[in-house]
Amino acid sequence: MAGLMPAPAPGGDLPEHPDRLWRTPEPKAAYDVVIVGGGGHGLATAYYLAKNHGITNVAVLERGWLAGGNMARNTTIIRSNYLWDESAGIYEHALKLWEGLEEELDYPILFSQRGVLNLAHSLQDVRDSVRRVHANRLNGVDAEWLDPGQVREVCPIVNISPDVRYPVHGATYQPRAGIAKHDYVAWGYARAADALGVDLIQHCEVTGLRISGGRVTGVHTTRGAIGAGRVALSAAGHTSVVAAMAGIDLPLQSHPLQALVSELLEPVHPTVVMSNAVHVYVSQAHKGELVMGAGIDTWNGYGQRGAFHIIERQMSAALELFPVFARAHVLRTWGGIVDVTPDASPIVGLSGVDGLYLNCGWGTGGFKATPGVGWCYAHTIAHGEPHPLNAPFSLERFVTGALVDEHGAAAVAH
C-alpha cells in the first residue's frame, strides 16, 4: 500500500484555532455599507472593504449562521485554469491571493497546493483540454497536458486502463491548484473583518430593500430596519429572492448541487481529480476523508437536497476512475444551492439601482473565487464602478451577447 503513495500524505491532524473569533453585536441603525449574505464572499468583501479601502462601518447580515450556505457545503477545490481570459483573470487573481491568505488572515486555512487533474475521456475532450492549457499559459496560469501515463504518475490510483467505457485519454494539470478548509477560510475572514470593526450580524434575514429615488437607502430585516449608504448583495442561491425585493430580475436559476464524504482513510489520493465528462470531482481532505462532488440536479430547488439517482450515478463514475474506492463508505451526503447564469459565469458589478451592487451567479465556482471576488467586489463597492477584473462580468453582457461562455466552451464547470 505504501507504494501507492508518492506524494506527501494529507495531514492527519487539524490545526489549533484561535481562541477568539468574532463578536456578536447588535445591529446599528445605519452603516456605510451593508452586505447581504454572510458567506465566504460576503465576509471576504467586508474584509477587503475595511483593509483595502478603509471602509469599516460595515455590517454583514446573515440570515442563518455565518458561512452556513454554500461556503459550508462545497468540495473546497481551488484552481484558476479556466478557458476564457475573463475567467482566468479573476480566478488567477484569487489563486494568487490564496497563496498568501494564511499569512494575510493569520489563520490556518489548510491551503494545500496539491494540484488538480482535469481528465479527458474523448478525442474532443483532448482538444478542449489542450486548448485550455494553451489559453491558460497565455494568461499566466500554470497548466500542463499529461498523457495517461503521466496522469498515473501524479495520481497512481486513477484507472487509466483502456477497458472502461470512457477511458482516460489524458488530463490537464494545474500544479498550483488545490484545496483548503472551507470553514476555516470563512472564519479567518470573519475574524479579520471583525477585528477591523465590521459588524457580523447573524440570524438577521433581509426582508426588504429600501429604495428611494432610484437609490438604495437601507434594508428591512427580521431585526428591524438598517440604513445603508450602499448595499451589496452576496446571497448566492438566494440572490434572486433578495433582488426581487428591489424589483430586479436576474438571469439566475438556483439548483441543488450535491456532494458527499467518506469515512477517514489512510492516504491514497494525493491530488484533486476532476472529470467533467463523467461528473466526478474528488480529493482526500486533510483528515483523510474522500470528498466528492456530484452533478447538478437539473431542476430549480431551494431545499438543499437533491435526488438519490444523482449520487448513484456519481458513484458509478467514481469507481470507473478509482476502483480502489469500492469498499469505502459514504458517511454523509448534502446539498447546496447554486445560482447559475446562462453562460455559467458570474455577475459582479452594478445593478441599475444606485448604491446597490450584485455578486451572484457563481454556480459551482464560488469557493475558489472567494479572495478574488472579495477583493474586486470591495473595489466595485468602494469606487462605484467595477474593478477591471470583474468588469466583463456585467449584467449588460446578456443584452449585447458578449457572454463569457464557460458552458458553451465545454470547459470544466466545477
Partner 1 sequence: MMLIPCPWCGPRDESEFHYGGQAGVAYPDDPGALTDAEWARYLFFRDNPKGPFRERWSHTAGCRRWFSLVRDTVTNEIVA
Partner 2 sequence: MSGAFRTARGGLVDRDRPLRFRFDGVEYEGLQGDTLASALLANGVHHVASSIRLGRPRGVFAAGVEEPNALVQIEEPFPEPMLPATTVELYDGLVARGLRGRGRLADRPDPARYDATHAHCDVLVVGAGPAGLAAAAVAASSGARVIVVDDQPRPGGSLLGAAEHLDWVASVAGGLRAAPEVRLLTRTTAFGYYDDNHVVAVERRTNHLGAQAPAHRSRERVWRIRARHVVLATGAHERSLAFADNDRPGVMLAGAAQTYLRRYGVRPGRRAVVLTTNDSAYAVARDLHAAGVEIAAVADLRDSPGAGRAPHGAELLPGWAVAGVTGADRISAVTLRRLAGGAFTGPELRLDADLLLVSGGWNPVGALYGQAGGRLAYDDGLGAFRPDGGCRQALEVAGSVAGTYTLKGCLAEGAAAGARAAEATGFRPGEPDLPETADPEVTPGVAVWTLPGDPATSLVDLQRDVTVADIARATGTGMRSAEHVKRYTTAGTAHDQGRTSGTLTSGIVAEMLGVNVGDLGTTTFRPPYAPVSFAALAGRDRGMRFDPVRVTALHAWHVAAGALFENVGQWKRPWYYPRDGEDMAAAVLRECRAAREGVAMMDASTLGKIDVRGADAAVFLDRLYTNMISTLKPGAIRYGVMCRPDGMVLDDGTVIRLAEDRFLVTTTTGNAAVILDWMEEWLQTEWPQLRVYCTSVTEQWATVALVGPESREVLASLAPGLDVSRDGFGFMTWRDTTVAGLDARVCRISFSGELAYEINVSWWDALALWEALAERGITPYGTQTMHVLRAEKGYPIIGQDTDGTVTPHDLGLGWAVSRTKADFIGKRSFTRTDTARTDRKQLVGLLPDGGELLPEGAHLVAAAEPPLTALGHVTSSYHSAALGRTFALALIEGGRDLVGRTVWATLDDGLAPVTITGAVLYDPEGARRDG
Question: Binding residues for partner 1, per CB under 8 A?
Answer: 238, 240-241, 249-254, 298-303, 305, 307-309, 339, 341-342, 398-400
- Answer for which of 7, 11, 17, 196 binds partner 2 (CB under 8 A) is 17
Piece in contact with partner 2 (CB under 8 A), picked from 58-66, 207-215, 370-378, 382-390: 58-66
H or E stretch including 230? strand 224-233
Q: Could you say which residues in the range 108-167 bind partner 2, by CB under 8 A?
A: 121-124, 126-135, 137-138, 163-166
207 binds, among partner 2, partner 1, none (CB under 5 to 8 A by kind): none
Residue 356, beta-bridge partner list? 231
Nearest residue to 370 via CA among 125, 67, 19: 67
Comparison of 65 and 299: residue with beta carbon closer to partner 1: 299
Cβ–Cβ under 8 Å, residues 328 and 60:
no
Out of 26, 106, 153, 312, the residue judged to bind partner 2 by CB under 8 A: 312
Q: Is 9 in the site for partner 2 (CB under 8 A)?
A: no
**Among partner 1, partner 2, none, residue 14 binds (CB under 5-8 Å by kind):** partner 2
Residue from 30, 195, 225, 265 in contact with partner 2 (CB under 8 A): 265
317 binds partner 2 (CB under 8 A): yes
* Rounded least distance, CB 297 to partner 1, Å: 9
Query: Whole-angstrom Cα distance, residue 46 to residue 30?
Result: 16
Smallest gap, in angstroms, from Cβ of residue 97 to partner 2?
A: 23
CA distance 282 to 12: 18
Instruction: Write the CB contacts of 193 (distance below 8 Å, at least 6 apart in sequence).
Output: 43, 46, 47, 50, 58, 60, 200
In DSSP terms, 33 is beta-bridged to 58, 230
159 with 321: CB under 8 angstroms?
yes
**What backbone phi and psi angles, to 5 degrees, belong to 365?**
-105, 5
Look at residue 301 and give the partner it binds from partner 2, partner 1, none, a contact being a CB closer than 5 to 8 Å depending on partner kind: partner 1
User: Which of these ranges, 27-35, 46-54, 215-223, 398-406, lies near partner 2 under the rule CB under 8 A?
Assistant: 398-406
CA angle at 107 for the pair 103 and 109, rounded to the nearest 5°: 95
Asked if 1 is part of the footprint of partner 2 (rule: CB under 8 A), the reply reads yes
Give me the residues paired with residue 128 across strands: none
Pick the binder of partner 2 from 7, 21, 391, 413 (CB under 8 A).
Answer: 21
d(Cα 149, Cα 156) in Å, to the nearest integer? 9
Judged by CB, which is closer to partner 2: 26, or 247?
26
Nearer residue to partner 1 within complex by CB, 22 or 393: 393
Stretch that binds partner 2, among 40-48, 216-224, 265-273, 354-362 (CB under 8 A): 265-273
Residue 85: name the closest of 41, 126, 137 by CA: 137
Read off the C-alpha cell for 371.
479572495
CA angle 284, 288, 291 (to 5 degrees): 40
d(C-alpha 380, C-alpha 357), whole Å: 8
Cα distance from N-terminal residue to C-terminal residue, the chain: 31
* 298 touches, from partner 2, partner 1, none (C-beta below 5 to 8 Å by class): partner 1
Taking CB within 5 to 8 Å according to partner kind, which of partner 2, partner 1, none is near residue 251?
partner 1
The label of the residue with cell 471576488 reads 373
Residue 238: which of partner 1, partner 2, none does it interact with, CB under 5 to 8 A by kind? partner 1
| Side-chain half-sphere CA neighbours of 58 within 13 A | 32
- Note whether 45 and 145 are within 8 A (CB): no
DSSP state of 276: T
Among positions 190-209, residues that touch partner 2 (CB under 8 A) are: 202
128 binds, among partner 2, partner 1, none (CB under 5 to 8 A by kind): partner 2
Q: How far is the CB of 400 from partner 1 (least distance, A)?
A: 7
In the complex with partner 1, the residue whose CB is nearer, 215 or 305, is 305
* CB nearer partner 2, residue 135 or residue 373: 135
Residues within window 65-84 making contact with partner 2, judged by CB under 8 A = 65-66, 68, 72
